Amino acid sequence: MKKFFKGLLKTIGVLLLVLVIALGSFLWFGNYHPKPVESAAVSCPESTPLLESGQNIKILTWNVQTMSSKNYVFWSDLPNNDGPDEKPSKEDITATFEETVRIIHDENPDIIFIQEIDSGAERTYYEDQMARLAEMLPEYPCYSSIFDWKSAYVPHPRIHGSVGWKVAILSKYKIDEAERIQLSTANKSFLENQFKIKPAILKAMMPTANGGQFAALTLHLDLYVPGTDAKDIQLTEIGRVLSELDTAGTPWILGGDFNLLPFDNAAYTRLASEQQKYYNPQSEIKFLTDKFQVVPTTDETNGEDFAKWLTRWPNDPSIPGPDRTLDYFFLPNIIKIGTHYVRMKDTLHISDHLPVVIEFQIP
C-alpha cells in the first residue's frame, strides 16, 4: 500500500510539473514578447520611385477599427464593457474595406498611416487584413506593419480567442527599412502583463533622391490607466525618438491614434462624465505639443470651430456624433505645415475614428 501511495504521489507530482511547464510555455510562446527595438519586414520593389527634396506630399492617418464597421456596439464600446456585440459579419468587413479604399482613392495621399488592422484575430476570422488592403491598393507598392497586440488565446469572457492588432505604413515611394520601437506600458499583474496591448512606434526610413532620408512614423497608444505615469513615460520615449531624428538632421512626420485629448480643459469637460475616465484631465500630450508642431493645432482644437477637428465617434449609442480629438500628426519645426483637415463629411459610417489629412513640403 505504501508503494501504491508513493507511486500515486509521484505521478501527481509529474502531472503537476507537466501542467506548470505547459502553462508557462503557453504564456510565453502563445503571447507576444517583443524586444525593445526590432527590425520590421518591408515589402517594396526596387523600382519604386524615391521622394524628392522640396516635394509636396500628402499623408493620411486613420484608425480603421479592424474594418468592423459602425453597425455594432462592441462589448468594449461601453464604459462598463457590456456592449452586446463581439464580432462583425464578414459582409460588413468587406463593405468597410471597400469604403476605406474609396476614401483613400479619393484623397490620393502619398503615404498612409493605418492603425487597428487585424491579422490572425478570431474576431475577424483570422484574416491578414493588411494583405487584403495591400492587394486593394496596388498603387502603394511599399508597406510595412507591426503588431502592438498579439496572442494565440486571450481568456477574456468576451474574447476567448486569438488577437492580432497592427499599425501599418503604405507608401507610393521607396521604403528602405523599418523598425519597431517598443513603448513602456502600465505594469499590471503577472497574468495581465502577458496578454496586454504593447504599443510601439513603427518607423519607416525613406530615401530621398538627393541622398538624404525622410522618416515616416505611426503608432497607436493604449488607454490611460488612472494612478500610473505610463502615459508620461510613453510621451517621453516618443519625444526621445523624434529628438534623435532632429539631431541627425532627418525630416520626419509622426501620425496616429494617441488616445489623448488636446491640452485643453474644455476638451475634457465636454465629454460625458462616464467617458472622462478614459483620460487625464490634464492631457499628457502637452509634452509633445510644447516641443513640436501638431495637427490639428492647439488653436484649432481649442477654438470656436473645434468641432471640425474632432476625430472620434465612439460606437456608444448615447453619443450622437464625434465628441473628441484623439488622432494627430506631429512634425519638426523646420517643416511648414500646409493644407490639413479631418475628413468628416462621408466617413462617419466607416470607423469609430475619422481620417486626418495633411500636406507639406519635404525640406
Place of cell 470656436: 304
Q: Report the distance separating Cα 105 and Cα 170, nearest Å.
A: 13
Section 325-333 average pLDDT: 98
Reference 293, options 332, 257, 245, 334; nearest CA is: 332
pLDDT, one tens digit per residue, over 203-216 is 999 999 999 999 99
- Number of domains the chain contains: 2
pLDDT, one tens digit per residue, over 330-347 is 999 999 999 999 999 999
Residues 61 and 129 occupy one common structural domain:
yes
- Identify the pLDDT of residue 280: 92
21-26 long-range contacts (CB < 8 A, ≥24 apart) are 26/152, 26/153
Residues 5 and 76 occupy one common structural domain:
no
Residues 93 and 193 occupy one common structural domain:
yes
CA 297, 344, 242, 234 torsion-angle sign: positive
Residues 115 and 16 occupy one common structural domain:
no
Residues 309 and 332 occupy one common structural domain:
yes
Banded model confidence at residue 194, pLDDT cuts 50, 70, 90: confident
Residues 54 and 26 occupy one common structural domain:
no
- Identify the pLDDT of residue 195: 82
- Identify the pLDDT of residue 213: 97
Q: What is the DSSP string of 181-229?
A: EE-------HHHHHHS---EEEEEEEEBTTS-EEEEEEEE-----TT--
Residues 155 and 10 occupy one common structural domain:
no
Domain interval for residue 106: 36-361
Of residues 21 and 314, more confidently modeled? 314
Upper half-sphere CA count for residue 186 (Cβ side, 13 Å): 14
Residues 245 and 301 occupy one common structural domain:
yes
Section 45-65 average pLDDT: 97
Banded model confidence at residue 3, pLDDT cuts 50, 70, 90: low
Banded model confidence at residue 288, pLDDT cuts 50, 70, 90: very high
Sheet strand arrangement including 293-295: 37-40, 177-182, 200-207, 213-220, 252-257, 327-331, 293-295
Task: Please give the model's pTM, rounded to 2 decimal places.
Answer: 0.94
- Identify the pLDDT of residue 169: 98
Residues 13 and 115 occupy one common structural domain:
no
Q: Does 11 have pLDDT greater than 60? A: no
Residues 18 and 40 occupy one common structural domain:
no
Residues 16 and 42 occupy one common structural domain:
no
Helix (H, G, I), strand (E, B) or coil at 246: helix
Residues 167 and 269 occupy one common structural domain:
yes
- Identify the pLDDT of residue 193: 81
Average pLDDT, the chain: 92
